[in-house]
Structure 1
Amino acid sequence: MDRSDYQTDVLIVGSGAGALVAALVAKEAGLETLVIEKTDLVGGSSAMSGGGLWIPNNPVSREAGVEDSFEMAWRYLEEVVPAAGPAASPDRRRAFLEYGPQMVEFLRRLGFRWHAAIGYPDYYPERPGGSKRGRAIEGSIFDGRQLGPWLKRLRPFPGAPPIPIHTNEVASFLVSLRTVRGFLMAMRVFGRFFQRALGKVPMGLGASLVGQLLWLCLQRNIPIWLESSLEELVVDHGRVAGAVVRREGRTLRVAARRGVLLAAGGFEHHGEMRERYLPKPTSTDWAVGASGNTGDAIRAAQALGAAVALMDKAWGGPVVILPQGQVSFLVGERSLPFSIIVDSKGERFMNESASYVDCWRWQYERHRQTPAIPAWLIMESRHRRYYPFGLLPPGITPQSATSSQFLVRAQTLRELAMRIGIDPDGLERTVVRFNRMAQQGKDEDFHRGESAYDRFYSDPRVKPNPNLGPLERPPFYATAIYPGELGTLGGLLTDEWGQVLHENGEPIPGLYATGNTSASVFGGTYPGPGSTLGPACTFAYIAMQHIVQNMQLVERV
């Protein structure tokens, strides 16, 4: 680049987990690194997430007693990942499985503290190669005080303080009023909250993941520019050599001697891209990912002729719109007993306890036959009495927490159906059939509760099937369900080294991508908890390894 305002070896666009891992790898290799983030907060969707990484055969889980191997994981991915073109190629899957454990060990050597999410199963654990004990890992509880003034720059979970809990503890926490184990888990989590009285800021989930990575970056004086957006990529002699960045009202040319990594999330908050690529209907109102995920990096690479893939897919799932207008992603709430999801005819059309990505797909498939957007989560009184719902504790449903689409209440199912505008006869027929199946303990229609994944979010006191509970006792509640997204999963097509590919199939020199900026190695399937962050961090690690290896090769020549 002939003229530049700032020079570095590696420019990283985005500040989520993948971006920060890449920054650490490059820095440890002796490369100057710059991270730019378009918003005023660090962490992107990673910081707002459960913070888990699905990494088969990783050392942390193996040390905790999980039996796993490359061969087991390969067979599992062969079973569950569909044919999805080059994004999910055997070479990319092999790279993910080989380098994932290395990435985990690399971070541990730097001081990252891992926690094995034992008991949180793969999403299809009964398939060959699947694991019922789970392959997910996450950050241990982290004291946010270590971030100093940067603590205020860590993107928070919407509407709640940092939650000091691990993902494999959440299921027990949800049934804290029902089981001794759940009660003890709740006491443990509340005990962590009380550490705030001692001046600590305990963090779990995505806050721990990004918090620890940010802390490691700050220790190494890696520069992070906030409110600095990517305007365009710069090409010099056929190679991506930097970018034009808008920062503090100024346009700067940043030279990147070794390469640029795009790790800026997907496009779930870009209305035009949603309309162009995603299934219909679609709305930015249903997006749960970070607000800065507007596809800037994808479009910048497309301007250079970069190929894209899987653009019609998303890491989706059932979401609800809270009375205050916020969107909330449902996982455990829809899986617990005494509830069903129905369409406008009042009929069930899915296994409510299944993977959220499957539920997202099923809702769109149903809507093509019968209006099912919104669908409705129907609950009876025991669901509200026993379990939390979003941020509402069990048994507490104030009028201020209800709306025409959230926790609508009625004394009969027919009255409830009339209030929400669905077929009352259909709902009554559905509930009669469902209640019979709940009493027998077998969902003859959708097999709810048969998989170990279904039973992860369940109530063991409900017999004979912990995911099924009859809808008998008023009041009854209904909440509108929309097909929202944690993030889009289609993006730039990359090879096994994370290099962005041109439409002609050749790598674009100097340009790399990871996370939701790139097309998923899983082709739209979600193999287990952390299937977004696991590949994001792994391919960030791989991309930096490729840069380092090329640098060493050039130096030898």
Structure 2
Amino acid sequence: MSFNPSPLPLITTQPNPHPSRLQSATRTQTKTATPEFAEETDLLIIGSGAGALTANLRARSLGLRSILIEKEDLVGGASAISGGGFWIPCNPISGVADSKDAALTYFAQAVGDVGPASSLEKRDAFVSNGARMVEFLRQHGFEFHVSKGYPDYYPRMEGAMGGGGRSLEARVFDMRRVGVWEGRIRPSGIPVAMYTHDGRVFSRVLSSVVAFGYVVRRMLPLFARMVVGQRPASMGRALVGQLLHLNLKHDGEFDLRTQTGLSKLIQDPTGRVVGAEVRTADACTSIRATRGIILAAGGFAHNKEMRETYLPSPATTDWTSSPPGDTGDAIQEGIRIGAATALMDDAWWGPTIIDPVTLKPHFALMERSVPHCFIVDSSGARFMNEAESYTDAGHDQYTRNETVKAIPAWLILDSNHRERYMLGRLLPKKKPSKQALGQGVVITATSLAELARKTGIDPTGLVATTKRYNEMCKTGVDEDFGKGSNAYDQFFGDPVVGPNPNMGPLLKPPFYATAVWPGDLGTKGGLLTDEFQRVLDKDANPIPGLFAIGNTAASIMGRTYLGAGSSLGPAMTHGYIAADFISKELDAK
């Protein structure tokens, strides 16, 4: 086995320079005589996230030659900085009762009819092959961890699993096992190795003796591993690390080229995609892909022009949690050669604050779900269940902003919240820095009326909302939005608080506010694909030789988020499906 963690030898490479982001949509199709190619492979994979690495491992196991290219100098894309969960119904790891019928019923209830992006055929293929993908990885040595108790996001719907079981993640992984690649995997930003179901307790470590003891018990084994020289990683970094490790140890050469970006898809006179022009810092070359190309390059979260064209207003790249290379190159190339698209106006939304420690966007999950806080618009009124699924919260914020200014909205909390729970990376009891206060990242006041004036919120509205919210906290029933009324909400609440683990009154000054923006984990819209992940043209016919997975493809989840790992689960499964189809197509020939 050999591998090269660098791009093509003799070439110093950089991320692919791009033309104007929407210019590619107006180019003519490239259906001229097939050019000469500098090299040849069976399968070319564009991207290096979890979906791409799964597709590559499956393809190599089926005897296909493959090349992966990644335009950035770091591998893993959004997968590496994610929570690392992947949602797989009927998986063989969790040990809970599940069924295909239940999963498909849940799909029908939660996603509904969003068109061909989530057709019945695609749902059936995903549910049927997800478990096979998991078993395939297990046979190759992937070590799984069950996201204990992590419920589906709509636990009351028919077919949902309110007690969890469909969300998996990678076990804590020693990054030394990938050798020189360790420094080439995108850092996750997670300060310590933890599982997703542990993160909710870490965020409230000082809220109770029980929470503190739990964190200590979880940390001791990690410290022991570090003492003996291990470098433990978790969540998305562990997922990418394990998949990379499996690819490296598989028989044959692992060919992943960083700082090598897609420049242009190449078609033969019949319209079949037969290769691609790829670009490094100072050179272009062409690669023939005799069996196909899988586009796994992410969405367009960092493409300002595309966001302004497709996504709701206001649109900006400032609030996204996706990595900077997420600029829509592969989607634009698909559009250029005639591919259909779907869901281009949607994203994996989520309330986002500016972290008072790092001063960077922070995807706020736990902060808004624990007691002693709520979110309001400029009128001082609540407009959502603060503990709801993050994608739903993003939709709610944009919808509210159409009638009342709600971008930014404001997370309002009191000192009880600050003494018990983290705010981004700001530890409980710790005061915001002078920089955070000076820049208005965190605003504080001794009264709610003063806080309202400092933030531009209507004071009368904020005081009235607080009074009503505090009254509802006594009974634990959110009569307005149902906060804390289901298993998903409660999963991120504080179990020592009653009668509702998600609700607690705002009584103790000083009071705090931080702006809430409609951030995202990436975009949902992309190239339309069929159940084999073949890219479809505008007449719903497959474009021969072209496949798309992950955020490059329109999401099978439609406009919802069914459970933890609703982006990575399909990305990995679809990579497996595409590789299988390409191999079987080869066998048929």
Shorter chain as normaliser: what TM range? over 0.9
1:344 and 1:132 map into 2 onto residues whose CA distance is: 35
**Correspondence for 1:412:** 447
Instruction: Say which of 315, 319, 327 aligns to 1:282.
Output: 315
Structure 2 residue 154 is matched with structure 1 residue 124: yes
- 8 A contact 1:174–1:182 mirrored in 2: no
Structure 2 residue 258 is matched with structure 1 residue 229: no
2:174 and 2:90 map into 1 onto residues whose CA distance is: 28
2:174 and 2:102 map into 1 onto residues whose CA distance is: 36
**Correspondence for 2:366:** 332
Structure 2 residue 97 is matched with structure 1 residue 67: yes
- 8 A contact 2:375–2:383 mirrored in 1: yes
1:266 and 1:337 map into 2 onto residues whose CA distance is: 35
**RMSD (Å), alpha carbons:** 1.3
Instruction: Say which of 91, 106, 128 aligns to 2:136.
Output: 106
Structure 2 residue 498 is matched with structure 1 residue 467: no
Structure 2 residue 571 is matched with structure 1 residue 536: yes
2:163 and 2:297 map into 1 onto residues whose CA distance is: 32
- 8 A contact 1:121–1:452 mirrored in 2: yes
User: What are the within-5 Å matches in structure 2 for residues 364-379 of structure 1?
Assistant: 364-379=398-413
User: What are the within-5 Å matches in structure 2 for residues 194-273 of structure 1?
Assistant: 194=223, 195-220=225-250, 221-236=253-268, 237-273=270-306
Structure 2 residue 478 is matched with structure 1 residue 443: yes
Residue aligned with 2:384, SS: coil
- 8 A contact 1:164–1:189 mirrored in 2: no
- 8 A contact 1:8–1:256 mirrored in 2: yes
**Correspondence for 2:530:** 495
> Which deviations, in whole Å up to 9, do the C-alpha atoms of 1:439-460 show, x marking residues without a partner?
1111000000001000001111
- 8 A contact 2:355–2:423 mirrored in 1: no
2:103 and 2:145 map into 1 onto residues whose CA distance is: 20
**Correspondence for 1:140:** 171
Residue aligned with 2:123, SS: helix
Structure 2 residue 176 is matched with structure 1 residue 156: no
- 8 A contact 1:14–1:262 mirrored in 2: yes
**Correspondence for 1:306:** 339
- 8 A contact 1:10–1:261 mirrored in 2: yes
Give the drift of 1:173.
Answer: 2.4
> Which deviations, in whole Å up to 9, do the C-alpha atoms of 1:106-128 show, x marking residues without a partner?
01111110111120100001111
- 8 A contact 1:171–1:332 mirrored in 2: yes
Residue aligned with 2:93, SS: helix
Query: Please, what TM-score do these two structures have when normalized by structure 1?
Result: 0.97
Q: Which amino acid aligns with 1:133?
A: G
**Correspondence for 2:117:** 87
- 8 A contact 1:80–1:525 mirrored in 2: yes
Give the drift of 1:190.
Answer: 2.6
Give the drift of 1:192.
Answer: 4.5
1:152 and 1:401 map into 2 onto residues whose CA distance is: 31
- 8 A contact 2:426–2:432 mirrored in 1: no
Give the drift of 1:174.
Answer: 2.5
Structure 2 residue 372 is matched with structure 1 residue 342: no
Instruction: Say which of 355, 361, 378 aligns to 1:322.
Output: 355
Instruction: Say which of 61, 66, 75 aligns to 1:28.
Output: 61
Give the drift of 1:392.
Answer: 1.5
> Which deviations, in whole Å up to 9, do the C-alpha atoms of 1:71-108 show, x marking residues without a partner?
11111111101211100100000001000000000011
Structure 1 pair 458/401, CA: closer, same or farther in 2 (3 Å)?
farther
Runs of 4+ in 1 over 6 A off after TM superposition: none
2:387 and 2:48 map into 1 onto residues whose CA distance is: 32
Residue aligned with 2:584, SS: helix
Give the drift of 1:338.
Answer: 0.2
Give the drift of 1:399.
Answer: 2.2
Greater shift, 235-244 or 37-46, is seen at 235-244
**Correspondence for 1:38:** 71
- 8 A contact 2:359–2:436 mirrored in 1: no
1:100 and 1:519 map into 2 onto residues whose CA distance is: 18
Structure 2 residue 452 is matched with structure 1 residue 423: no
- 8 A contact 1:242–1:256 mirrored in 2: yes
Structure 2 residue runs of 5 or longer lacking an equivalent are 1-33
Q: Which amino acid aligns with 1:534?
A: G
Give the drift of 1:238.
Answer: 2.2
**Correspondence for 2:17:** none
Q: Which amino acid aligns with 2:201?
A: S
Residue aligned with 2:562, SS: coil
Give the drift of 1:467.
Answer: 0.5
Give the drift of 1:25.
Answer: 0.4
**Correspondence for 1:173:** 202
> Which deviations, in whole Å up to 9, do the C-alpha atoms of 1:485-520 show, x marking residues without a partner?
100000000000000001111000000000000001
Identity %: 48
1:479 and 1:285 map into 2 onto residues whose CA distance is: 16
Structure 1 pair 192/328, CA: closer, same or farther in 2 (3 Å)?
farther
> Which deviations, in whole Å up to 9, do the C-alpha atoms of 1:5-25 show, x marking residues without a partner?
121110000000000000000
1:481 and 1:274 map into 2 onto residues whose CA distance is: 19
Give the drift of 1:180.
Answer: 4.7
- 8 A contact 2:432–2:442 mirrored in 1: no
Greater shift, 193-202 or 486-495, is seen at 193-202
1:531 and 1:189 map into 2 onto residues whose CA distance is: 26
**Correspondence for 2:493:** 458
1:53 and 1:396 map into 2 onto residues whose CA distance is: 34
**Correspondence for 2:430:** 396
Residue aligned with 1:332, SS: coil
Give the drift of 1:322.
Answer: 3.2
1:461 and 1:413 map into 2 onto residues whose CA distance is: 26
User: What are the within-5 Å matches in structure 2 for residues 541-552 of structure 1?
Assistant: 541-552=576-587
- 8 A contact 2:204–2:421 mirrored in 1: yes
- 8 A contact 2:355–2:425 mirrored in 1: no
- 8 A contact 2:273–2:545 mirrored in 1: yes
Give the drift of 1:525.
Answer: 0.9
1:309 and 1:121 map into 2 onto residues whose CA distance is: 28
2:42 and 2:246 map into 1 onto residues whose CA distance is: 19
1:16 and 1:181 map into 2 onto residues whose CA distance is: 37
> Which deviations, in whole Å up to 9, do the C-alpha atoms of 1:297-347 show, x marking residues without a partner?
000111110000000000001011235541110001111110000000111
1:297 and 1:8 map into 2 onto residues whose CA distance is: 19
- 8 A contact 1:440–1:464 mirrored in 2: yes
1:185 and 1:389 map into 2 onto residues whose CA distance is: 20
Greater shift, 336-345 or 185-194, is seen at 185-194
1:429 and 1:228 map into 2 onto residues whose CA distance is: 56
Q: Which amino acid aligns with 1:545?
A: D
1:189 and 1:513 map into 2 onto residues whose CA distance is: 39
**Correspondence for 2:393:** 359
**Correspondence for 2:220:** 191
Residue aligned with 1:396, SS: coil
Instruction: Say which of 499, 524, 528 aligns to 2:559.
Output: 524
Give the drift of 1:172.
Answer: 2.4
